[in-house]
Structure 1
């Protein structure tokens, strides 16, 4: 049996770990976007004059609890920043 030492090469590739999306509660979405909770829900309501089909849709986590995917909110904010230059 061989003993391992500092000069022995080892397989250092780790198994692939799935990326778990970070979920943001409404309070954080309000903070990051600068929008009120009322405006956010209006943007999600197809019947509202404020409806925005590009705004990320919340994920239902449990009865009475929803959250938004952080990367989707970040992408939406980034798209607004890009739009201001056009």
Structure 2
């Protein structure tokens, strides 16, 4: 009987009942953290939805990230000059 008295919560309750159930992330930061922790599988479609962009926009971001830094900076400067 003393073993039951040492458990949190009412008798017969699960010891982890005070912790909320895991649920899928509802923002991009939590989603990426869940993917790193192995709780969710990385999906471009889901990531784009959480960022609020199209999948093609996300693909463009990935392609821009692959550019060498010097080339990326040169392209940004060229775009800025065109907009003036």
TM-score by length of 1: 0.29
Using CA pairs under 8 Å that are at least 6 residues apart, name the structure with larger relative contact order, 1 or 2. Answer: 1
* Larger Cα-atom Rg: 2
TM-score by length of 2: 0.30
Give 1 or 2: higher helix fraction: 2
Give 1 or 2: higher strand fraction: 1
